């Protein structure tokens, strides 16, 4: 070391000997002479480090980057740095074999694995990740699990005793620091301040933070470590000041004392660090007890606050002290609050509180109802803006506030007839305070109520339908309907026709799907069991049918928008069908011609149309109109997407057909659960209707090759039933219908009846109808009639004649019913028979072919088609017609206004204004020639 800058000593030898005597040096001590080095010497000074320190520094730097990436959940960065860490560890394998795996490396592996497992279990967090991070998380989790198998014992020992591992790591750090210092001492006589200042951050980097930094106490530990660093800095500053003063005095003995004191201070600080580290691993309760014991008795006025110093939020002052509260000041303050609306960083909850406070100030100072109405409008709008996302629904407390504010607003409007509100009132023309003139406020109460209704729908859509919470939320529908009724009364006197139609539609939408049980009881002549129930029924208002009729007819006559009128018609039809008014519902549907252009309507209206058609089909089934029921339900059921078409759920599809944004939009169109139509009941009604139509038709056209299917879905269920290797008793609703169909095909109506109507089917389907007994009786009657028709189709070839009385007894039908069924079959030429009135018998005519004859006829038809196709191909090859002719839809050929070929009655062809080949092989030209048949024995041309 250069000694030319030393001052304040008698000789160089004395100073060097005094310096040599001071052997104990703490890692934090600083030689005073190093502070006096020139800039040139500082720049040329090098720090010599061992290979172990270099490798460990590289590992700690990578570990620090990984931990920073863990804090911000950057999985891609974590994966990249982990791969780099593995490569760096392989480079330092020779050092690891000598020294062993460092504790900070084991700690990182354990912390990283725990951290990844926590992220993997957090389903909501994984959904919010982008694609790259999610993929990196999966890859990194697999790699870390595979990599940690090589360090399984070290990780287990670390997890069992993390405190001991931390102490070992600290010892290793101190040892490495001292070894590096000793190596520096060997190379040089003294230690420069520059080298120590460089080593200090390196040592701290080696100390990796605990995994608990990512948990609750991370902030506290960081603050503690910062406090320790600050205390060390203060200590070093004191050393600098002491060394400078002694340097000026030139006392070497006092310099030695300073260095010894610093070494002792360093030991105390290291001990204190160990105590702090142990305290971190103690349970929370233990720490609280120790804190209570260490508290001084003088500090009785103080109390411990968890989570740091509480921030007391002072309510912002509305107006400066002494400000006169008048209308202009309040309106100005209102505009100030509204200017922050929608801006980034605006606290929406605080904005709502400010508006409530402003409304309270307006009430206290009696500033008039106009200003209060204006503030209420803005409060309700702020409540709607609280959730910026359209898909999100209102929180319960916000929903209750919204209902209360709308009720208060309606109270003010009802009590003050001089207040006029409307969207067409400009901001400049508002009159909020002048009482002599009518108060004019810009705003639309109808829009607020419509938004409230939509929010109620969203709340019901996003609540679990099988929970008590759904029932509690559904109770609010009474309040919603009450608000709509009050608004309806207000707009009937002050609103325009368009606004009245809109609010009428809202009222209809809350009524059309509800079955009016009290009106149903009155129609059946039933009364309440107790006197209180009878009085309640008498005091109640008009039936829902009367309300619907009045509201819908007003819309039919006054509305000028197609959408509102379409929705009203569909709701009216639905309500008629729900209450078994089949003919009114059917006539209204046919007169409206909605089925012609419904495909151009928006999706919510199409869903309403599908619901109406389904309800119409169920109503027709209850009334015994089996064919009408089948036709109404055919489109919905044959698609296989009944659940989606009725707005009752989404089917699983791949991302190509529907992306995430479309899925969110479709979820918002879903119908709340309490408005759902039972899909199992719907399918059962459709299958039973198809069975009653299809089984007699199959029996009548058993050998007809061109037989068409009435219901593809029903045939599919029959094929599924036939493919069953083992036929057991039916369990599901579909299996019951298939088993009943097989019984009906054999004419066994009793077995068919037992499969369709039993306890299981009653509980699943038939008991869900309002008039359960009537539906069951209708079903029994239909099964008997269709079984009779099936029996006659199937076994008519066996009988010469059969008595109608026998048929009546077999199917338990009265004689006139049997007579009418057989008469209809004879008139429609379905049954070749005649009625003998005196003997009451059905005489069969032997005109129906046997099964062998039917098969021969089918073969003849197929052969005839084959011959015709062959001749057509032959003609094309010979070029008789060339490319001149085009085949028409009837199987013939035609040329533009010149030639026309069509089969005649004898199987030949006619050619108008053309040429005809005769039987001798020549050609003749006539005005209208005719080609003979193909089966000519004298010619062998074809």
Q: Spell out the SS3 assignment of 457-523.
A: HHHHHCCCCCCHHHHHHHCHHHHHHHHHHHHHHHHHHHCCHHHHHHHHHHHHHCCCCCCCHHHHHHH
Q: Which of 796, 826, 844 is the last residue of a domain?
A: 844
Token couple for 568: 């009203």
Q: What is the pLDDT of residues 241-293, one digit of tens each?
A: 444 444 444 444 444 444 444 444 455 555 555 555 554 444 444 444 444 44
CA dist 675 → 3, 512, 611, 666, 930 (Å): 96, 10, 10, 17, 69
pLDDT at residue 543, as a whole number: 85
pLDDT at residue 276, as a whole number: 55
Report percent pLDDT > 90 for the chain.
Answer: 30
Q: Which of 144, 164, 184 is the last residue of a domain?
A: 164
Q: Report helix, strand or coil for 67.
A: helix
Rounded to an integer, what distance in angstroms lies between the CA atom of residue 449 and that of residue 453?
6
Rounded to an integer, what distance in angstroms lies between the CA atom of residue 610 and that of residue 344?
43
Token couple for 901: 């070929």
Rounded to an integer, what distance in angstroms lies between the CA atom of residue 621 and that of residue 775?
8
Q: What is the pLDDT of residues 27-66, one digit of tens each?
A: 444 444 444 444 444 454 566 778 888 888 899 999 999 9
In a domain, 543, yes or no: no
Count of CB atoms situated within 10 Å of the CB of 207: 16
In a domain, 266, yes or no: no
Instruction: Output the CA angle 614-615-616, nearest 5 degrees.
Output: 90
Higher pLDDT, 692 or 175: 692
Give the residue from 220, 210, 225 showing the smallest Cα distance to 287: 220
Q: Report helix, strand or coil for 887.
A: strand
Rounded to an integer, what distance in angstroms lies between the CA atom of residue 727 and that of residue 721?
8
Alpha-carbon dihedral sign for residues 799, 804, 809, 812:
positive
Give the mean pLDDT of 324-329. Answer: 79
Rounded to an integer, what distance in angstroms lies between the CA atom of residue 610 and that of residue 616?
10
Give the residue from 350, 346, 368 showing the smallest Cα distance to 359: 368
The conformation of residue 424, written as its DSSP 8-state character, comes to T
Rounded to an integer, what distance in angstroms lies between the CA atom of residue 388 and that of residue 83?
41
N- to C-terminal Cα separation, the chain? 125
pLDDT at residue 623, as a whole number: 92
Rounded to an integer, what distance in angstroms lies between the CA atom of residue 464 and that of residue 110?
39
In a domain, 193, yes or no: no
pLDDT at residue 193, as a whole number: 37
Give the distance from CA 162 to its chain's centroid: 43
Residue 675 has pLDDT above 60, yes or no: yes
Query: Taking phi first (over 0 means left), then psi (-120 to 50 degrees means alpha), and beta for anything else, what does residue 863 get?
Result: alpha
Q: Rounded to 5 degrees, what are φ and ψ at 705?
A: -70, -25
pLDDT at residue 182, as a whole number: 43
* 355 burial level (CB within 10 Å; 0-12, 13-18, 19+): buried
In a domain, 933, yes or no: no
Q: CB under 8 Å to 465, separation ≥6 — which residues?
A: 673, 674
Rounded to an integer, what distance in angstroms lies between the CA atom of residue 463 and that of residue 470?
6
Token couple for 555: 């819309």
Q: How confident is the model at residue 127 (pLDDT cuts 50, 70, 90)?
A: confident
Q: What is the dihedral of CA 209, 214, 219, 222, to 10 degrees?
A: 10
Q: Report helix, strand or coil for 407.
A: helix
The DSSP bridge pattern shows strands 928-930 and 439-442 to be unpaired
Interhelix angle for 497-509 vs 544-558, to 10°? 150
Q: How confident is the model at residue 673 (pLDDT cuts 50, 70, 90)?
A: very high
Q: What is the dihedral of CA 403, 408, 414, 418, to 10 degrees?
A: -130
Alpha-carbon dihedral sign for residues 720, 724, 729, 731:
negative
Q: What is the dihedral of CA 20, 26, 32, 36, to 10 degrees?
A: 110
Give the mean pLDDT of 331-350. Answer: 82
pLDDT at residue 173, as a whole number: 53
The conformation of residue 431, written as its DSSP 8-state character, comes to B
Give the mean pLDDT of 116-135. Answer: 86
Mean pLDDT is lowest, of 79-93, 223-237, 575-589, 627-641, for 223-237
Instruction: Output the CA angle 380-382-388, nearest 5 degrees.
Output: 125
Q: Which domain holds residue 788?
A: 678-844
Residue 554 has pLDDT above 90, yes or no: yes
Give the mean pLDDT of 130-158. Answer: 88
Q: How confident is the model at residue 370 (pLDDT cuts 50, 70, 90)?
A: confident
Rounded to an integer, what distance in angstroms lies between the CA atom of residue 556 and that of residue 559?
6
Residue 179 has pLDDT above 80, yes or no: no
* 73 burial level (CB within 10 Å; 0-12, 13-18, 19+): middle
Residue 408 has pLDDT above 80, yes or no: yes
The conformation of residue 707, written as its DSSP 8-state character, comes to P
The model's pTM is: 0.59
pLDDT at residue 542, as a whole number: 76
Alpha-helix runs per DSSP H in 148-190: 152-160, 162-187
pLDDT at residue 271, as a whole number: 57
Domain count, the chain: 2
Tabulate helix, strand, coil % of the chain (nearest 5).
65, 5, 30
Residues in the chain: 942
The conformation of residue 88, written as its DSSP 8-state character, comes to H
Token couple for 797: 């070839």
Q: Report helix, strand or coil for 340.
A: coil
Residue 502 has pLDDT above 80, yes or no: yes
Give the mean pLDDT of 770-774. Answer: 88
In a domain, 823, yes or no: yes
Give the mean pLDDT of 418-440. Answer: 78
Q: Rounded to 5 degrees, what are φ and ψ at 439?
A: -75, 130
Q: What is the dihedral of CA 235, 236, 242, 245, to 10 degrees?
A: -140
pLDDT at residue 621, as a whole number: 94
The three-state (H, E, C) secondary structure of 755-772, written as one string: HHCCHHHHHHCHHHCCCH
Report whether 818 contacts 807 (CB < 8 A).
Answer: yes
Q: How confident is the model at residue 753 (pLDDT cuts 50, 70, 90)?
A: very high
Rounded to an integer, what distance in angstroms lies between the CA atom of residue 622 and that of residue 859?
44
In a domain, 768, yes or no: yes
pLDDT at residue 590, as a whole number: 93
Residue 568 has pLDDT above 50, yes or no: yes
Rounded to an integer, what distance in angstroms lies between the CA atom of residue 930 and that of residue 914?
10
In a domain, 97, yes or no: yes
Rounded to an integer, what distance in angstroms lies between the CA atom of residue 401 and that of residue 703?
72
Q: Which of 140, 164, 188 is the last residue of a domain?
A: 164
CA dist 626 → 637, 694, 736, 779 (Å): 15, 11, 19, 10
Task: Tell me what the pLDDT averaged over the chain comes to.
Answer: 75
Q: What is the pLDDT of residues 303-322, one digit of tens each?
A: 555 554 444 444 556 666 66
Rounded to an integer, what distance in angstroms lies between the CA atom of residue 782 and that of residue 488?
47
Radius of gyration from C-alpha coordinates of the chain:
47
Element (H, E) at 400: helix 396-415
Residue 405 has pLDDT above 50, yes or no: yes
pLDDT at residue 924, as a whole number: 42
* 171 burial level (CB within 10 Å; 0-12, 13-18, 19+): exposed
Q: Rounded to 5 degrees, what are φ and ψ at 900?
A: -150, 125
CATH number for position 830: 1.10.10.10
Q: CB under 8 Å to 117, separation ≥6 — which residues?
A: 141
CA dist 533 → 280, 542, 732, 749, 812 (Å): 70, 16, 40, 44, 43
Rounded to an integer, what distance in angstroms lies between the CA atom of residue 1 and that of residue 191?
9
Residue 863 has pLDDT above 50, yes or no: yes
Rounded to an integer, what distance in angstroms lies between the CA atom of residue 605 and that of residue 514?
19
Q: What is the dihedral of CA 258, 260, 261, 264, to 10 degrees?
A: 160
- Per the DSSP assignment, residues forming a β-bridge with 440 are 420, 431
In a domain, 57, yes or no: yes
Q: What is the dihedral of CA 548, 551, 555, 556, to 10 degrees?
A: 50
* 461 burial level (CB within 10 Å; 0-12, 13-18, 19+): middle
Higher pLDDT, 277 or 449: 449
């Amino acid at each position: 070391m250069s000694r030319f800058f030393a001052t304040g000593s008698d000789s160089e030898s004395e100073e060097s000997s005094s310096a040599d005597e001071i052997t104990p040096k703490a890692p934090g001590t600083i030689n005073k002479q190093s502070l006096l080095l020139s800039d040139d010497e500082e720049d040329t000074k090098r720090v010599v480090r061992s290979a172990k320190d270099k490798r460990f520094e590289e590992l700690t730097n990578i570990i620090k980057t990984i931990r920073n990436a863990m804090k911000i959940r950057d999985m891609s960065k974590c994966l990249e740095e982990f791969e780099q860490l593995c490569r760096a560890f392989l480079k330092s394998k020779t050092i690891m074999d000598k020294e062993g795996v460092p504790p900070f490396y084991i700690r990182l592996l354990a912390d990283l694995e725990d951290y990844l497992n926590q992220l993997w279990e957090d389903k909501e967090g994984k959904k919010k990740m982008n694609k790259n991070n999610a993929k990196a998380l999966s890859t990194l989790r697999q790699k870390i699990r595979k990599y940690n198998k090589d360090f399984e014992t070290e990780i287990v020992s670390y997890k069992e005793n993390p405190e001991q591992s931390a102490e070992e790591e600290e010892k290793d750090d101190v040892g490495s620091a001292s070894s590096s210092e000793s190596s520096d001492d060997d190379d040089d006589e003294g230690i420069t301040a520059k080298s120590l200042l460089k080593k200090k951050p390196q040592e701290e980097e080696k100390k990796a933070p605990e995994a608990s930094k990512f948990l609750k106490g991370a902030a506290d530990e960081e603050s503690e470590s910062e406090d320790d660093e600050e205390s060390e800095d203060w200590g070093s500053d004191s050393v600098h000041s002491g060394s400078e003063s002694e340097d000026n005095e030139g006392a070497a003995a006092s310099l030695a004392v300073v260095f010894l004191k610093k070494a002792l201070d360093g030991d105390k600080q290291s001990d204190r660090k160990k105590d702090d580290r142990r305290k971190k691993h103690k349970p929370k309760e233990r720490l609280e007890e120790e804190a209570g014991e260490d508290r001084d008795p003088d500090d009785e006025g103080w109390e411990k606050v968890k989570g740091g110093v509480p921030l007391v939020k002072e309510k912002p002052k509305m107006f400066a002290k002494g400000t006169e509260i008048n209308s202009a000041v309040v309106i100005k303050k209102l505009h100030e609050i509204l200017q922050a609306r929608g801006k980034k960083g605006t606290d929406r909850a605080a904005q709502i509180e400010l508006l409530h406070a402003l409304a309270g100030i307006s009430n206290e100072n009696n500033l008039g109802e106009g200003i209060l109405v204006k503030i209420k409008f803005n409060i309700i709008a702020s409540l709607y803006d609280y959730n910026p996302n359209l898909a999100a629904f209102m929180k319960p407390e916000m929903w209750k506030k919204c209902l209360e504010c709308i009720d208060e607003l309606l109270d003010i409007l009802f009590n003050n007839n001089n207040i006029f509100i409307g969207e067409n009132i400009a901001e400049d023309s508002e009159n909020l305070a002048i009482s002599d003139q009518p108060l004019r406020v810009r705003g639309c109460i109808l829009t607020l109520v419509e938004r409230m209704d939509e929010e109620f729908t969203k709340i019901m859509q996003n609540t679990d339908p099988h929970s008590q919470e759904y029932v509690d939320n559904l109770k609010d529908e009474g309040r919603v309907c009450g608000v709509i009724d009050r608004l309806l009364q207000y707009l009937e006197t002050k609103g325009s026709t368009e606004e009245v139609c809109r609010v009428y539609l809202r009222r209809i939408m809350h009524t059309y799907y509800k079955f009016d049980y009290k009106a149903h009881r009155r129609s059946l002549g039933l009364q309440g069991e107790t006197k209180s129930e009878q009085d309640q029924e008498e005091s109640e208002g008009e039936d829902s049918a009367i309300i619907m009729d009045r509201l819908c007819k007003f819309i039919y006559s006054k509305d000028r928008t197609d959408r509102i009128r379409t929705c009203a018609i569909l709701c009216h039809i639905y309500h008629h069908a729900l209450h078994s008014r089949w003919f009114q519902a059917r006539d209204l549907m046919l007169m409206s011609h909605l089925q012609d252009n419904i495909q151009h309507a928006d999706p919510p209206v199409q869903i309403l149309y599908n619901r109406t058609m389904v309800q119409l089909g169920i109503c027709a089934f209850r009334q015994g109109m089996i064919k009408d029921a089948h036709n109404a339900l055919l489109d919905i059921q044959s698609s296989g997407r009944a659940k989606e078409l009725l707005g009752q759920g989404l089917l699983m599809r791949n991302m190509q057909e529907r992306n995430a944004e479309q899925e969110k939009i479709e979820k918002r169109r879903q119908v709340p659960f309490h408005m759902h139509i039972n899909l199992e009941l719907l399918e059962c009604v459709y299958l039973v209707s198809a069975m009653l139509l299809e089984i007699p038709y199959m029996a009548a056209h058993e050998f007809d090759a061109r037989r068409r299917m009435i219901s593809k879905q029903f045939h599919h269920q029959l094929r599924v039933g036939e493919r069953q290797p083992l036929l057991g008793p039916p369990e599901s609703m579909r299996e019951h219908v298939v088993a009943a169909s097989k019984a009906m095909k054999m004419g066994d109506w009793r077995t068919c009846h037992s499969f369709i109507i039993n306890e299981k089917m009653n509980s699943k389907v038939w008991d869900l109808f309002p008039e359960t007994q009537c539906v069951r009786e209708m079903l029994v009657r239909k099964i008997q009639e269709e079984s009779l028709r099936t029996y006659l189709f199937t076994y008519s070839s066996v009988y010469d004649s059969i008595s109608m009385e026998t048929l009546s007894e077999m199917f338990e039908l009265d004689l006139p019913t049997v007579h009418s069924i057989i008469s209809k079959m004879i008139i429609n030429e379905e049954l070749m028979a005649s009625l003998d009135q005196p003997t009451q018998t059905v005489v069969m005519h032997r005109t129906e072919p046997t099964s062998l004859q039917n098969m021969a006829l089918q073969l003849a038809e197929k052969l005839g088609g084959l011959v015709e196709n062959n001749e057509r191909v032959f003609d094309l090859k010979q070029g008789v017609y060339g490319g001149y002719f085009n085949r028409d839809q009837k199987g013939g050929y035609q040329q533009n206004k010149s030639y026309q070929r069509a089969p005649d009655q004898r199987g030949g062809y006619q050619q108008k204004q053309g040429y005809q080949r005769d039987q001798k092989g020549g050609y003749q030209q006539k005005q209208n020639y005719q080609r003979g048949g193909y089966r000519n024995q004298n010619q062998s041309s074809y």
